[in-house]
Amino acid sequence: VSYLAGNWWFPWLVALGSGVNMFTLVFGGVLAACYVTAILTRPKYWLATATINAFGTIIGVILVVYLVEVNGTDYITDRFPSVFKSDKWGWIEENVEKYGPFGVVLTSAAPIVLHPVILFAMLAKMNTAVLVGCIFVGRVLKYSIMAQCALTAPGMLRYFGGKKLVDIAKKES
């Protein structure tokens, strides 16, 4: 993958995958590995790569938000039931309800799926543009932190994708 990761278009491909993963939830590990490989292959562009990946995620978020607006909040809980079995549920709900937009940024920067964040923010009647903007900022933060971990402290990547992600970062660097 590293021979592909050096191309200018590779971060855009990973970003597209991040947007699609909002509906599949099965590519997280592969996308994280591709993202880290892109960072290590072109370290000078870590911030651009982080922003591009967040942009791809936001396209998926906008589509999910639209579908929830059209179909109601049951759309998200019916389509993604496994997401709502997480032990992080209470933490996400508390952050969104207690801290509003800042809570959305905080939880979006965490290595978690975004569906509960979207659900709680929509139930709290958060403005859609504010919700999407806060998730974007949170994801840029998350991907920036991941990039810096990959470049300076690969062992910290275990918090984003387990031992395999750490191994990839150590092998590529």
pLDDT truncated to tens, each residue of the chain (173 aa)?
A: 677 999 999 999 999 999 999 999 888 888 999 999 999 999 999 999 999 999 999 999 999 999 999 999 899 888 888 777 777 778 888 999 999 999 999 999 999 889 999 999 999 999 999 999 999 999 999 999 999 999 998 888 877 766 666 666 667 65
Q: The whole model's pTM is what?
A: 0.90
For residues 105 and 138, give the distance between their C-alpha atoms in angstroms, rounded to a whole number. 4
Report helix angle 10-24 to 28-41, nearest 10.
160
Is the distance from CB of 132 to CB of 66 less than 8 angstroms? no
Cα dihedral value 71, 106, 161, 114, nearest 10: 0
pLDDT at 45: 97
CA nearest neighbour of 121 among 104, 141, 109, 139: 104
